[in-house]
Amino acid sequence: MKIGKTFTFDAAHRLPGKAIYGKCDNLHGHTYILEVTVESDLLRPEGWVMNFTQLKDIVKVNILDVHDHSFLNDFYPLPTAEIMAMDFAETIKRKCPDHITKVTVKLWETPTSYAYSECE
């Protein structure tokens, strides 16, 4: 059984190295879309995987409040969508209740480009 929520946040970054990253070497920003899915083998006695509000609070406190309207290079030496998605999935998994067996993150950097990461 899986549940998911979608969030948005705005942030700026640069990927240092024009030879490798091209125009992304310049300071620029994105409106990121963050899709978070949590999975459990068992439904809780309440009839759910986990409370949507609990999932929202975990993401808000640990991801959105930290990264929204930030300069991502302050957190990551190389703030690619892939590195961020992996970090977000691991962070959310650590904060979830023990019965959550997997956290999946899809981080959209543009309307057509995303990174995907799973943490078990």
13 is catalytic: no
Q: Out of 30, 69, 90, 96, which one is annotated catalytic? A: 69
Q: What region, left, alpha or beta, does residue 19 occupy, with left being phi > 0 and alpha being psi -120 to 50 degrees?
A: alpha
118: annotated active-site residue: no
Catalytic, out of 30, 109, 118, 120:
109
Q: Which among 24, 35, 99, 118 is annotated as catalytic?
A: 24
Catalytic residue status for 69: yes
Structure tokens at 10: 């705005």
Catalytically active residues are 24, 69, 109
